[in-house]
Amino acid sequence: MTELPPQYNPQAVEEPRYQWWEAQGLFQADPDPKRTPYTIVIPPPNVTGILHMGHALNNTIQDILIRYKRMQGFNALWVPGTDHAGIATQNVVERALAKEGKKRQDVGREAFIQRVWQWKEQYGSTILYQLRRLGSSCDWRRTRFTMDEGLSEAVLEVFLRLHKEGLIYRGHYIINWCPRCQTALADEEAPRQQTLGKLYHIRYPLEDRSGHIEVATTRPETMLGDTAIAVHPKDKRYKALIGKHAILPLVNRRLPIIADELVDKSFGTGAVKVTPAHDPADFQMGKKHKLEFINVMTDDAHMTNVPKEYEGLDRLEARSKLIIDLEKAGFLGAIDEHPHNVGHCYRCHTAVEPRLSPQWFVKMKPLAKPAIEAVKKGTIKFHPKRWTKVYLNWMENIEDWCISRQIWWGHRLPVYYCEKCEHTMVAKAAPAKCSKCSGPVRQDPDVLDTWFSSWLWPFSTLGWPQQTKDLEHFYPTHTLVTAQEIIFFWVARMVMAGYFCMKAPPFTDVYIHGTVRDITGKKMSKSLGNIIDPLDIIKQYGTDALRYTLVTATAIGQDLFLSEERFTAGRNFANKLWNATRFVMSAGPAASGSPGARQLPSPSASAGGAQLAAPLGARPSASPAPITIPDRWILSRLQHTTTRVTNALDAYQFNDAATALYDFLWHDFCDWYVEIAKVQMPQSAEAKATTLAIMHKVLETGLRLLHPVMPFVTEELWQHLRPSDAGPSIMKAPWPKAAKKLTDDEAEAQFARFAAVVGAIRTMRAELNVPPDRKPPVHLITPQAAVRQFFESQQPLLQALAGVAEVHVAAQAQKPKDAATAVVEGIEVILPLAGLIDVAKERERKQQRVAELTKHLQQAEARLKDSDFTDKAPAEIVQGARERKQQLEEDLKKTAAQLTVLQAM
C-alpha cells in the first residue's frame, strides 16, 4: 500500500488508468448466448469533429449507462464510430486545396476523394481519442466509419431494396443552391440569417386593361420566371380577379390569377407573384395548379431564359437593372425595408438561391407506418415522455426524403444511365452496358445524403446485411442517447430503417438530453466565442469533475447552463473522496484474510443496540465487536443510498443519482461517520476492528455506486481499498444491492436525535463565540428513560463532536443560570457558559423561538381540528400530524420555561 498524496491529481491517474482498462480488455463484449446483452450505439460524431460540451454530455451519459449495466452483469456493449459527414468533410479538404490555389474541379473527382481519404486516415480519429479522455468505455475494436466497406455495402443493399419495392424515385424539387460553391445544400446546411432586405412592390397590369394588381417581392429578378399570380381564395379585395389574367411587365407574359390558401392575406399586398422554379411555396402551387416552370438562373446565378437585355447578368445586377426599368415604365410601387431570414451557405455565407433541380427521393409514408406503431405501442419509449408527441407529429406528417447531394464525398448513388437511350438502371456495381440498347453507361454523379448511411447505424455496425452472431446477440440495441436536434434527421429514420431492414426496432429506449448552453442561455458555438472546451476542463479539473458537473447540472432532458466555476464542485468532490480514502487507509487495513474481517455485524433486534448480532458473511464471526448506533446508522443510510441511486439510474435521473452519492459520501460518511470513527476506534481493539470494517465497506460500496459517474477516481481509490476477493477492477465489481436487514429505522431515529443535539450545541457555541478550547459541561434533560440511556452511552461521542466536557443526563430540569439553552426533539439542552451570556440577546432569541413554535403549533392544531382533514386524509398523514403537534407542544412548553428563567434574570 503506497502513501497517497494529500491532493488528488487527476492528470497522474487518468491516462494510465484508461490505458490499463483498455489493455485489460475491460471494454470488450462478445456475443454470449448465456448472458443478457445491453447495447448502445454511439451517435457517430462527424469525422471532422472536435470534442465540445455537447459531445461531453452525450458520451458521459452513455458511459454511465454502459458502466452501470456492465456492473449489473449485463453483457454490455458500446459500439463506437464516426460519420463521414459529407459536406463538412469535403469542406475541410477543399479548404486545404484552396491553400494550394486549387479547386476540387482542378484535381478531379477520383483524386479529390483520394485526398479526403488521406485526410481521414490522418486526422479522422481525433474525436475518438478525445472520447477516450472522457473515459468512454467503448469496445474500440468495433470502431466503425460510415464509409467502411461493410457499411457501404449496407447502404447499397438498402438502396436496392427500397428501389425494388418502388420506394425510390427521381423527381424535381426546390433545393437550396449555393451559387458560389455550386452545390445543393440541405436545409440544415443553409442556416437562416436575419438579413435586412427590401420588399419591392410591383404593379402587374391586368390583361383587360381594367387596372393592375400589385404584388410584393424581396427578389424582383425572379419575376422573369413568373408564371402566375396568386391570391387567397377568401380575400375580398381580389375575389373578382380570380380566373382573370395579368401581364408580366417587361416580358409581357400572360399570367393567370389563381387562388390558393398558401397565400397570406395580411402579408404585403395580399397578392403574390408565383415563380415555381425559384421558390419552395411557389413550387407547390406550380405543381397544384399545373403552372409552367421556368428556370431563369444558371448554376452560378446568372440570368438565363430571359429577355436579351437581362440575359447573362448576375442575379444582383439583374435586380438593380430591373428596378430601374420598372421605375421608368411606371410599374414600380413602394420599396419597404424588410428584415427577413435568408438561408446562407454555412461555409461561404453566400445567400442561397432556391432552385429547381432533379433529385432522388425516398417515399417515407410506407416506412413511417411501423415506426409510428412502435412508438404508439410503447415498443420504443422516449425519455422524457414529451418527445413522443413531437416524434409522432412529425412522423404523421412526414414528407418524402430528398437523398441526393451534389457533392463528391459520400456514397455515390448506385444509379446508371445509358448514354444513348437514357435508360436508368439501379445496381450495386456498374453494368457493362445498357440493359435495353447495349449502349455505354455512366453513373449518376450525385452522392447520398449522409443520413442515408447513419440511419442504418444500429445494425450496419453489427454486420448487416450479413447475418452475424453480433447482430443476433446485440440487436435490437437498448438505449439511444441523443440531443433533441436530431430526433427527425436521425432517430426517426433509424426507427424506419430498423423496421424496414430488420423487422425490429433499432432500440427500445431513447433518452433525449438537453442542449448545453452558456450562462446567458445561448447555445455554445464557436462564432459566439462562448465555448467552454471540455478538454480544457479536463486539464484543469479532471475528467471526473467534468462528468460529475455535467450530470448534476441537468435534470432529465432539461437544457444546462454552464459556467466554468461549476466544475470546482466536481473537482472538490473527487478530492474529498481521495482524502476520505487516505484517512481510512491510514487508520488501518481492513484486516484482510483474518476471519470476520470483512464480515460486518448486523444490527441487533434488541433495543439499545450496543450488542452484536450475526455477521454479514456466511460464517459467524469468531470475536464479535460491539456495534453502535452510528454504525447501524451509516449502514442503514448506505442501503437507502444504494436503492436511491439504482432507482435514479433506471429512471435516467442521473442528477439525482449523483446528488444522492454526494450527500451520502460527503455529508453522512465524511462529516459524520469519519468523525465518529475517530472517537470509536481508540476505545478498544474490537471497536477499532468493527469501525474499520464498516468504513471500508461503506466507502468501497460508495465508490462502486459512484463509479459510472466518476470512473477514474473511484477506480484509483478502489484499487487501494480493494477487498482481496474482489476482481481486478471496480468496472467488473458487482453492482451493490440494498440489504433489507441492514436498513434500520430505529438507529436512524436515534441518530437523528443525536445529530440534532450536537447541532444545537454547535449553534449555541458559534453564536456565543465560545472559544474552541473552552469545553463546558452539558445538561440534557428528558423524561424518556430510553433516550437518557442512549445519550449516557454516547458521552465520548458527544464530547468530541460538540466540544463539551461532562455530559449530565437527567429527567428533571434545573434552573440554569448563565447558560445557553435550547430544545430539540423534546430534549432540553443546557450549556453553562458563565461570562459569555448576553441575557438580553438570549431573551430575544428565545422569544423569537417561542413565537415560531407557537405559530407552527397553531397551524398544526388548526389542521387537526378540521374534520375534513381528519376524515379524508390518509390515516398515516393524520397520525403524523398528531405526533408533530405533540412534539411542538412539548418543545414549546420547555422553550417557554427557558424563557421564564431568562426573564427572571
Partner RNA sequence: GGGCGGUUAGCUCAGCUGGUUAGAGCGUCUCCUUUACACGGAGAAGGUCGAGGGUUCGAGUCCUUCACCGCCCACCA
Cell of 580: 476520505
- In the bound state with RNA, the residue whose beta carbon lies nearer, of 119 and 583, is 583
- In the bound state with RNA, the residue whose beta carbon lies nearer, of 418 and 888, is 888
> Which distant-in-sequence residues (6+ apart) come within 8 Å of 289 by Cβ?
228, 256, 258, 260
Q: 135: alpha, beta or left, given left = phi > 0 and alpha = psi -120 to 50?
A: left
Q: How far apart are CA 513 and CA 57, in angstroms?
A: 8
- In the bound state with RNA, the residue whose beta carbon lies nearer, of 76 and 562, is 562
CB of 465 to RNA, least distance (A): 31
CB of 775 to RNA, least distance (A): 12
**Which residues face 404 on adjacent strands?**
448
How many C-beta atoms surround the C-beta of residue 115 within 10 A?
Answer: 17
- In the bound state with RNA, the residue whose beta carbon lies nearer, of 202 and 781, is 202
Taking alpha carbons only, the member of 623, 728, 744, 642 closest to residue 686 is 623
> Which distant-in-sequence residues (6+ apart) come within 8 Å of 256 by Cβ?
228, 229, 243, 244, 245, 289, 291
- In the bound state with RNA, the residue whose beta carbon lies nearer, of 152 and 643, is 643
Burial (CB count <10 Å: 0-12, 13-18, 19+), residue 20: middle
Cell of 432: 457493362
- In the bound state with RNA, the residue whose beta carbon lies nearer, of 215 and 413, is 215
Q: How far apart are CA 562 and CA 518, in angstroms?
A: 5
- In the bound state with RNA, the residue whose beta carbon lies nearer, of 120 and 219, is 219
Cα separation values, 519 from 147, 185, 512, 568, Å: 38, 32, 21, 16
CB of 206 to RNA, least distance (A): 18
- In the bound state with RNA, the residue whose beta carbon lies nearer, of 535 and 768, is 768
CB of 368 to RNA, least distance (A): 15
Q: What is the 3-state secondary structure (H, E, C) of 345-375?
A: CCCCCCECEEEEEEEEEECCHHHHHHHHHHH
CB of 319 to RNA, least distance (A): 12
**Which residues face 832 on adjacent strands?**
819
- In the bound state with RNA, the residue whose beta carbon lies nearer, of 146 and 269, is 269
CB of 52 to RNA, least distance (A): 16
- In the bound state with RNA, the residue whose beta carbon lies nearer, of 726 and 857, is 857
Q: 863: alpha, beta or left, given left = phi > 0 and alpha = psi -120 to 50?
A: alpha
Whether the CB-CB separation of 48 and 580 falls below 8 Å is answered with no
SS3 641: helix
Whether the CB-CB separation of 217 and 249 falls below 8 Å is answered with no
Cell of 413: 448513388
CB of 502 to RNA, least distance (A): 27
- In the bound state with RNA, the residue whose beta carbon lies nearer, of 97 and 755, is 755
CB of 452 to RNA, least distance (A): 18
CB of 651 to RNA, least distance (A): 6
Evaluated on CA atoms 101, 47, 88, 167, the torsion sign reads positive
CB of 555 to RNA, least distance (A): 4
CB of 591 to RNA, least distance (A): 19
Evaluated on CA atoms 893, 894, 896, 900, the torsion sign reads positive
